[in-house]
Amino acid sequence: MISGNDMESSSVMMIGRKGSWLAGAAGALIAAHAPAQIAVSVNDGKQPRAGESDFRARPDNLAVIDMRRYPPRVTGTVDVPGSMIGPPTSVAMARDGSFAIVTSAQKADPADPAKFVLDNKVSLIDLTDPTAPKLVQTVEAGDGASGVAINRAGTMALVAATGDGTISVFSIAARRLTLIDTLQLDKAPGPVDIALSPDGKTAVVTQRRGNAIWRLAIDGTKVTDTGVTFPTGVNPYGSVFSRDGRYAYSTNLQGRIPAEGAPPPRGGRIGTVTAIDLRTNRIAATVEVGPLPEHVALSADGRYLAVVVVNGSAASPTSPAYSPFGLLKVYRVNGATLTSVAEAQTGQWAQGATWSDDGRTLLLQSAASRQIEVYRFDGKALVRDPAATLTFDTRPAAITTALSR
């Protein structure tokens, strides 16, 4: 409270009220022109779990989740081809939140619905009305279409295909996809995910069956292989760029590359997250995070990295690798330095995670329970809120917001 005579106090109060009104008006104006904060979850309706006796296939779909309020809630859904097979980056959202792109790596075999074959579908979803998302186009990429990335301008999308080793380059205009180029990479390592730098000039591609990541160069709509690879670890899977674009952080499902002739570690491999310095083209750091890290998600401000660790929870209960829970871990980010801050046990068969814009809420996909779990984060502790859980009749497989990558 400001001390002084009554006249001075009255003047301050009047200025304060006027300032509050102006701030409120400015906030409303900004809100009117800013995209609503939403997440989209791609859910696989055809993927059974081993030993599941009562499984019934349903259509794959995309669910829109409103994160402007707490707890988050589903506002709309639309059927679209999707797949749990592949990284939880098989969906990307435009920076302005107006559309999303979904890939499908596998589909039911037309000759035998109990089996699966590679798929190549890429779909564009109109999110102009989050309560009524619309499938407006489906096109084809390479077989096993998996990771997808959209540039900041919303004019280009890249899709990595594990089955044929290609990167499909699409232009985007008026919410329509046009295939303009296909880059052929080595098929054997299986390119599974692709991430774009903030300036749109660099992409990194993870190798599902290899031990390295490719670096690609982008000039306009021309995408080329630079010949530079990073030996990050065994089975690289997903990746994300730092907000300044200098570093890329990638998961390695099977951890560090063993020394030549070294025996396999007892108890299975510990997965890792690797920080790549793209200024020097060197591995800057590697952190052990746990068995089978599926996904890395950076907070909107770039200060925290969430890591989803399956931790044996997708294994059969009779397997020696089985665990009744997965793990969600949060690391503080300072360039190449990742410092453990918090972790929580999650549901089984965890897939992807994404942050609210303010960094206080995390959504975590649990495929086994067909749920999205909600966690609160205060910079120190990570706490699940069971009352906020979102439940589906399909398996959550991939998730994103406009600021995820």
- The candidate with the shortest Cα–Cα distance to 87, out of 206, 229, 202, is 206
The predicted-structure confidence for 302-330, as pLDDT tens digits, reads as follows 999 999 999 999 988 888 889 999 999 99
Check residue 264 and report its DSSP letter.
Answer: P
Question: According to the model, what pLDDT value does residue 59 have?
Answer: 96
| 3 state DSSP class of 2 | coil
Task: Taking residues 264-277, report their average pLDDT.
Answer: 83
Q: Report the b/e string of 241-256 with b at 16+ CB within 10 A.
A: bbbebbbbbbbbbbbb
Fold classification of 39-401 (topology level):
Methylamine Dehydrogenase; Chain H (2.130.10)
Question: According to the model, what pLDDT value does residue 267 have?
Answer: 56
Place of tokens 């003047």: 11
CB half-sphere exposure, 99, CA atoms < 13 A: 25
Residue 286 is encoded by which pair of tokens?
Answer: 């590697």
- Whether residue 394 is predicted with pLDDT greater than 80 in this model: the reply is yes
- Cα separation, 166 vs 142, in Å, equals 6
Predicted confidence band at 352 (pLDDT cuts at 50, 70, 90)?
Answer: very high
Residue 391 is encoded by which pair of tokens?
Answer: 């439940």
Peptide bond before 71: cis, by omega within 30 degrees of 0?
yes
pTM of the shown model: 0.90
- Cα separation, 28 vs 32, in Å, equals 6
DSSP structure string for 267-293: T-PPEEEEEEETTTTEEEEEEEEES-E
Question: According to the model, what pLDDT value does residue 49 have?
Answer: 79
